[in-house]
Every structure is written in structure tokens, then in C-alpha cells.
Amino acid sequence: MALYRQVKRQLIADIQSGKFQPGKALPNETELAQRFGVSIGTLRRAVDELVADHVLLRQQGRGTFVGQQDNDRFMYQFFKIEGRDGTREFPQIRLLGFDVARANAEEAQVLGLHGAARVLRIENLLSLQGRPVVHDRITLSCALFPRLTREQFAQRPGTIYELYQRAFGVTVVGADERARAEGADAASAALLQLPVGSPVLRVARIARTFDRQPAELRVSIIDTRVHEFVSSASAPR
């Protein structure tokens, strides 16, 4: 296998193991190259790919840093809801529910679990400009997020993905999403303050960590009277 790919895998392993901490600088390129026993060009090629995926972040003159799942990253990579006029705003989040259950068939399939595995089900309501806009239902595998409690979740200092990264070493690097229109059910309609059956956007997102491993299933019911879901069709790699 190509040498630079092995170097890349080792860098990922060092991030997952916690050897390189989110937000902290890596050793400089010369030292990393020596440590891995490769030339600087090869080391740079490995880092290049991780920078393209926003796993690492380079700043000329300062160093190379491990990417953090902070508010900024969340807003520009994962929060794809904005006003029809293009207004973007960090949502206010209210926790509605936090329960342990057995995975249903869909959850087990997308999260790669066996039939009766334990999962956490978390329910949130997101507001923009004081108005409720998104009703989120999140499913997590208890095996991947061991001993996550409601208190720990509710009192996290940063974003949800930052909690995954710091407390469980799970770095979300991308997601697959599927959208459809449907009529609002009673629960979502009440929360979003619209009539039952009104057209709402339903987005199912599977957040993934390295090697496309699924980490989270999130179903969002979105009121698109004032907001829209934005996306882009660039060439996949």
C-alpha cells in the first residue's frame, strides 16, 4: 500500500487514541517525517488529505492543529438550515427527552447494531429568532457512547459533536442525508406551532466518523415556512 496512506492511518489512530488532542498542535513536519521514517513530501501528502477533510488544520507560521467540533465548524459543515434570505444563526436548543431503549429495525440497520442492542433516544427542539423551527430525534448506540447521562448531555459546554469528540473520542467527519416532504404529525405540529398535516421537511442524517462508520442517526422535522435546507452538489471524492 502507498506509504502516505499508512502515515495517514497512523495520524488518524493517534487522534482517535487521544495522543493528539482536538485544538492542539501536532509536532512540526520535520519531526513527524522523522518519526514516521518518511520524507517531508510524503508526510505532507498524508497531512494534505486530512486537511482536505478538515480533520487537521494548517496555519502557516504557526503549526498544524487537530480540528475541533466547535460552534463554527458545526455551523458551516453540519447546520444546513438558514433563512430564505440567507440569514444564518446559531440555534437555541431545548432538550425534550433522553431515554434508553432497544433499537428498532431501522436504527439497528443504519447504526450497524444487532437487533436488540441498547440505544439512547434524545429529543431536541431548535429555535431560530425565538421561533421553533426544527424538531430533532437523535439515536445513539449505548456501546459507542458508554455511560452518557442526561445530565452530562444537558450540561455539555459546547456542541453535541464536541461532546462526542472530547468525552468519547468519536470525531464526526461527515454525514449522509435523505430529505422528503411529509405532513406534520401531531407531536411535531404542536412543537413547531403549525396545523397537523402541514407540509414539513423531514431530513434523516447518518453522521459518520472515520472509515464511514456510522455514529449517530438524527431525524429532523423542519418548518420551512421561513427557513430552508441548503446543500451543494460538488463532486464527491
Partner DNA sequence: AAGTGGTCTAGACCACTTG
Partner DNA sequence: AAGTGGTCTAGACCACTTT
Report the interface residues with a copy of itself, using CB under 8 A. Answer: 52-54, 76-78, 80, 84, 173-183, 199-201, 205, 222, 224, 227-237
- Give the residue among 145, 148, 115 at the shortest CA–CA distance from 214: 145
Residues 30, 63: Cα–Cα separation, whole Å: 12
Of the pair 39, 87, the CB lying nearest DNA is at: 39
- Give the residue among 205, 197, 200 at the shortest CA–CA distance from 180: 200
Q: How far is CA 8 from the centre of its chain?
A: 21
- From the list DNA, a copy of itself, none, which binds 179 (C-beta under 5 to 8 Å, kind-based)? a copy of itself
Quote the least distance from Cβ 46 to a copy of itself, whole Å: 15
Residues 12, 16: Cα–Cα separation, whole Å: 6
Of the pair 19, 212, the CB lying nearest a copy of itself is at: 212
SS3 34: helix
Quote the least distance from Cβ 51 to DNA, whole Å: 8
Of the pair 28, 129, the CB lying nearest DNA is at: 28
Residues 22, 65: Cα–Cα separation, whole Å: 8
Of the pair 4, 79, the CB lying nearest DNA is at: 4
Residues 156, 115: Cα–Cα separation, whole Å: 30
- From the list DNA, a copy of itself, none, which binds 230 (C-beta under 5 to 8 Å, kind-based)? a copy of itself
- From the list a copy of itself, DNA, none, which binds 54 (C-beta under 5 to 8 Å, kind-based)? a copy of itself
**11 and 42 in contact (C-beta within 8 Å)?**
no
Of the pair 150, 202, the CB lying nearest a copy of itself is at: 202
Quote the least distance from Cβ 147 to a copy of itself, whole Å: 28
